[in-house]
């Protein structure tokens, strides 16, 4: 188990702290809600459980997509002149 924790820490060390923390919080919340669903006998869809690593992978892809979209918006705003600025 300690080897898995060491590997996870090594993988998350390459990410900025806020992204790694967000991923850990989301995965923790997913585990918590899955536990609650298992208590209520409502875990999974149609009786099939989705492995947590697939959910974490989807979340990581979505975070990367959002990051790229925000970067594109920022670049677009930097290229566009301010409406109140005087153009030569």
Q: Residue 30 falls within a domain, yes or no?
A: yes
Q: Residue 27 falls within a domain, yes or no?
A: yes
Q: Residue 62 falls within a domain, yes or no?
A: yes
How many folded domains does the chain comprise? 1
Per-residue pLDDT tens, the chain, 88 aa: give them.
Answer: 578 777 777 776 776 777 778 888 888 888 888 787 777 665 555 555 666 667 778 888 899 899 989 888 888 877 777 667 665 5
Range of the domain at 39: 20-77
Cα angle at 55 between 74 and 5, to 5 degrees?
A: 95
Structure tokens at 69: 């979209």
Calpha distance 57→80 (Å, rounded): 35
Per-residue pLDDT at 3: 80
Q: Residue 12 falls within a domain, yes or no?
A: no
What is the model's pTM?
0.35
């Amino acid at each position: 188990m300690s080897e898995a924790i060491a590997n996870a820490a090594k993988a998350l060390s390459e990410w900025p702290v806020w992204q790694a923390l967000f991923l850990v919080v989301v995965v923790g919340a997913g585990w918590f809600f899955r536990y609650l669903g298992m208590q209520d006998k409502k875990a999974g869809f149609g009786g099939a459980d989705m492995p947590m690593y697939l959910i974490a992978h989807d979340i990581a892809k979505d975070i990367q997509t959002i990051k790229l979209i925000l970067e594109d918006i920022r670049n677009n705003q930097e290229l566009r002149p301010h409406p109140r600025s005087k153009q030569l």
